[in-house]
Amino acid sequence: MSSQKLKLIPFGKHSDGSKYSLEAEVVFTESKLKIIYLLRGNLEDLIIVPKKTGAGQIDDLWKSTCFEAFISKKKSFRYIEWNFSSSQEWGFFAFESYRKAAPEKLIQSAPEMRIKRSKADFVMEINLNLKENDSFFENADPYEMGLSVVLKSRDGKQSYWAISHSGTKPDFHLRDTFKVQL
């Protein structure tokens, strides 16, 4: 079992970095992955729970507050993307290479999600079974992962948070942002 605590940082100078803090804890055991996101700050300014369209898998969660994980194997071009909403909705996508959707449809069971909220803290715990997607990757190398969060404020502005950023705009699909070794 490996466990890591990580700090997510906002993209750009004009972000909400002074208003919020975001941390994540990652626990990995063989093929089970637990991610715990901790958001602190004045949560009343954020849209934490977007309008719910129904439990289950949907697209475009990133247009509101969304917690994300990008997972690959060390020497693979392929990667998967998970999106999680506090409404219990989630998204799952497979890519052949940078932003190129994989031709095959992967079967994925729903993630287990638990949420705790107070006035100044929001905690989302996610449990995933990575074994379901082992055949998608070409090799048996270790996993590597990028974590990110999109925060949407009540005034409609979004801020973009990740373990690391590269490029001139926020882009969580860039492989050099997959900094977590599992």
Give the pLDDT confidence score for residue 149 in this predicted structure. Answer: 96
Question: Residue 38 belongs to a domain with what CATH number?
Answer: 2.60.40.1190
Give the pLDDT confidence score for residue 109 in this predicted structure. Answer: 85
106: CB partners within 8 A, 6+ apart: 80, 92, 94, 132, 133, 136
Give the pLDDT confidence score for residue 49 in this predicted structure. Answer: 72
Give the pLDDT confidence score for residue 137 in this predicted structure. Answer: 76
- Ranges in the chain, pLDDT < 70: 14-17, 50-55
Strands (E), the chain: 2-10, 20-29, 32-41, 56-57, 66-73, 79-84, 89-97, 100-101, 112-117, 121-129, 143-152, 158-162, 180-181
What's the structural domain count of the chain? 1
Give the pLDDT confidence score for residue 30 in this predicted structure. Answer: 78
Q: Which residue type does 130 have?
A: L
Range of the domain at 167: 2-181
Give the pLDDT confidence score for residue 54 in this predicted structure. Answer: 62
Give the pLDDT confidence score for residue 14 in this predicted structure. Answer: 59
Estimate to the nearest angstrom the gap between the alpha carbon of 52 and the chain centroid.
19
Q: pTM higher than 0.75, yes or no?
A: yes
